[in-house]
């Protein structure tokens, strides 16, 4: 495998670095090493400051980071950059209006990621979801996703 990677213009050190990065990310996401924090952007603080569009699917929850602020069904007059929703009881949906928002708009219901915006039903279509195996409490490093 390494000679094939090196044939593509990478050095052996670069190839090993890429392999180690993949293994480190897999180790963090596996949950086998609880002392390791989840990799970026798999924490709320990182997702808020992330520059691109991301969909994270967790256990009975999801988070969406839009590339640009969008109006949401929670309040069509305000825009959000990140939406987090929990499907399990009590169901909640949180909309963060800016990367430094620590008091998100909250709805006491679950809004699917396909119904987030009032006008564009499939705003998250085409964004490859990142599947994670951890609970919402692990994702919420800012401790703002409260009942």
Cα separation, 65 vs 48, whole angstroms: 7
Burial class (CB in 10 A: 0-12, 13-18, 19+), 49: middle
Closest Cα partner for 44 from 102, 131, 113?
102
Q: What is the pLDDT of residue 114?
A: 82
pLDDT tens per residue, range 3-37: 444 445 567 777 777 787 677 777 766 767 777 66
Does an H or E element contain 15, and which?
helix 12-30
What tens-digit pLDDT sequence spans the chain (147 residues)?
A: 444 444 455 677 777 777 876 777 777 667 677 776 655 578 999 999 988 888 999 989 999 998 889 899 998 899 999 999 999 999 999 999 999 999 999 999 999 988 888 776 656 677 778 888 889 999 999 999 987
- What's the chain's average pLDDT? 83
């Amino acid at each position: 495998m390494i000679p094939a990677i090196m044939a593509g213009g990478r050095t052996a050190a670069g190839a090993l670095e890429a392999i180690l990065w993949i293994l480190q990310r897999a180790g963090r996401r596996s949950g086998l090493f609880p002392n390791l924090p989840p990799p970026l952007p798999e924490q709320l603080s990182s997702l808020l400051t992330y520059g691109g569009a991301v969909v994270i699917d967790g256990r009975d929850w999801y988070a969406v980071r839009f590339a640009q602020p969008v109006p949401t069904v929670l309040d069509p007059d305000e825009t959000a950059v990140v939406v987090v929703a929990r499907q399990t009881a009590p169901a909640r949906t949180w909309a963060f209006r800016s990367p430094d928002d620590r008091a998100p708009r909250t709805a006491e219901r679950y809004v699917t990621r396909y119904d987030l915006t009032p006008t564009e039903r499939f705003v998250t279509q085409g964004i490859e979801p990142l599947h994670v195996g951890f609970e919402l409490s692990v994702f919420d490093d800012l401790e703002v996703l409260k009942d």
